[in-house]
Amino acid sequence: MMILSLLNQNKTPIGELDQLDNCYVTELLENGEDTLSFEIYVKHPLYKDLIEENLILTDDNRYVIKSIDERGQTTIIGCSLDLSDFMVTGYHQLILEDITLAAFLNQILSGTGWMVTGTETITATKTVSMESGNTLDLLRLAEKTYGIIFRYDCIQKIIRVTTTQGYTNKGVHFSDELNIKECELRGDSFDLVTRLYAFGKDGLSFEDINGGKAYVENFQYTSKVITQVWVDERYELKEELLAAAQKKVTGLSIPNRVYTASVVDLASLLPDDYGNLAIAIGDKVTLIDRIRGIEVEHQIVKLVSYPDTPEKNVAELGRVSTDFESTITKLKTEDIKEAIVKTVPPAVNDYMNEYFGGQKWVCVEAYPEVMDVGTLYLKYVSR
């Protein structure tokens, strides 16, 4: 049975918490800020010490109590990782230009006592700017800016840097004949994109290194041409812009499918027989979809683990968000030309006029159900 250690805000031990119900850890691939939840009886001898900001220590990490939901004879305690070291220093109008991830982390983590591993594979320089916030806000911003994920070890004070591509398929299969009790599928193609125009700082384009094309394409799922325009002024090198655009269109050119599977963790229940089926957040696994007669490789993007009852574990499989935060320009038909001048960067407008000058083209909030054959429809997307 999992036993948690209770500490006060100064990390002084208070005692051990046992006789817990529904104790589970939730991990998300998109960020490393895991959460812990458990249920405890109000008559537990240490119940009075379960107060906000006291600490919970597990075998793997340290958490801080953030919520208390008392329900009659039992209470649900919600905890977040203890990242309080990153809430001490504040920043206002911070701008760090052309800085590597290693240099950025070295600067903002100075004096915190934390170490970082895994930055050697991230060599690109970026500009990081924030209006106001603390060190934790900067770390979250860095994840988006550099396209990375931080995994936090609050006990050893170590940040491990990884990416969604930094995980491999270890040969684990999910099947209702082996280790899945229930499986649900949610799928949609609302944001499907097969052709992506990309522009960087000051209208930067990669067309001269991409066969004269200011766009990239991927028709892995459909032969339809579905276009979007992406503008991200963080990119100042055409080579990096091209690589980023190719990565984005690869993820956007397939439907968004998410499988939620109730998984029997055989590796925990029967380690001698099924140790090879051990799973962790970020792992790529092969799901056998017998209804559709296909095998699909997905990544574990969410994992809810019950240490005492691993048969209750739930894994969510899908593709990770591409950090494609979009703002669609809303246009009225009669104001199309005026709106384009105001909202579309000159580089986009010049390119469209040069290559599609004889064809009507419009920016739209969403593709209409019925399209005019003589009109090119673009959904304008900012970063």
What one-character-per-residue DSSP string does 82-98 give? Answer: --GGGGS-EEEEEEEEE
Cα 19 from Cα 3, distance rounded (Å):
8
Closest CA to 149 of 44, 31, 230: 31
Q: What is the pLDDT of residue 366?
A: 63
Q: What is the pLDDT of residue 57?
A: 97
**What sections of the chain are H helices per DSSP?**
101-108, 135-146, 238-252, 266-269, 271-274, 336-343, 346-356
Q: Are 68 and 50 in contact (CB under 8 A)?
A: yes
Q: Which CATH architecture has domain 85-165?
A: 3-Layer(bab) Sandwich (3.55)
Q: Is the pTM of this model over 0.85?
A: no
Distances in Å between the alpha carbon of 301 and those of 78, 249, 261? Answer: 21, 20, 12
Paired residues of 95 in beta bridges: 129
The separation between the first and the last C-alpha atoms of the chain, rounded to the nearest angstrom, is: 47
Residue labelled with tokens 């894994």: 315
Q: What is the pLDDT of residue 259?
A: 79
Q: Are 62 and 81 in contact (CB under 8 A)?
A: yes
The answer for 361, left when phi > 0, alpha when psi is -120 to 50, beta otherwise, is beta
Q: What is the pLDDT of residue 53?
A: 97
Torsion over CA: 78, 80, 82, 88 (sign): negative
Q: What is the pLDDT of residue 334?
A: 35
pLDDT (tens place) for every residue of the chain, 383 residues total: 678 999 999 999 999 998 899 999 999 998 899 999 999 999 999 999 999 999 999 999 999 999 999 998 999 999 999 999 999 999 999 999 999 999 999 999 999 999 999 999 899 899 899 999 999 999 999 999 998 999 999 999 999 999 887 788 888 888 887 888 788 888 888 889 999 999 998 889 999 999 999 999 999 889 999 999 998 888 889 999 999 999 899 888 988 877 787 887 788 888 888 888 888 999 988 888 777 777 878 889 899 999 888 888 888 887 654 443 332 222 233 333 443 444 455 555 565 565 555 556 666 656 666 666 566 666 655 44
Q: What is the pLDDT of residue 374?
A: 61
Q: Exposed, middle or buried by CB within 10 Å (0-12, 13-18, 19+), for 11?
A: exposed
**Residue 131: strand, helix, or coil:** strand
Q: What is the pLDDT of residue 263?
A: 80
Q: Exposed, middle or buried by CB within 10 Å (0-12, 13-18, 19+), for 151?
A: buried
Q: What is the pLDDT of residue 77?
A: 98
Q: Are 364 and 377 in contact (CB under 8 A)?
A: yes
Q: Exposed, middle or buried by CB within 10 Å (0-12, 13-18, 19+), for 381?
A: buried
Q: Where are the domains of the chain?
A: 4-82, 85-165, 167-187+261-318, 190-254+325-383
Q: What is the pLDDT of residue 172?
A: 87
Cα 379 from Cα 366, distance rounded (Å):
7
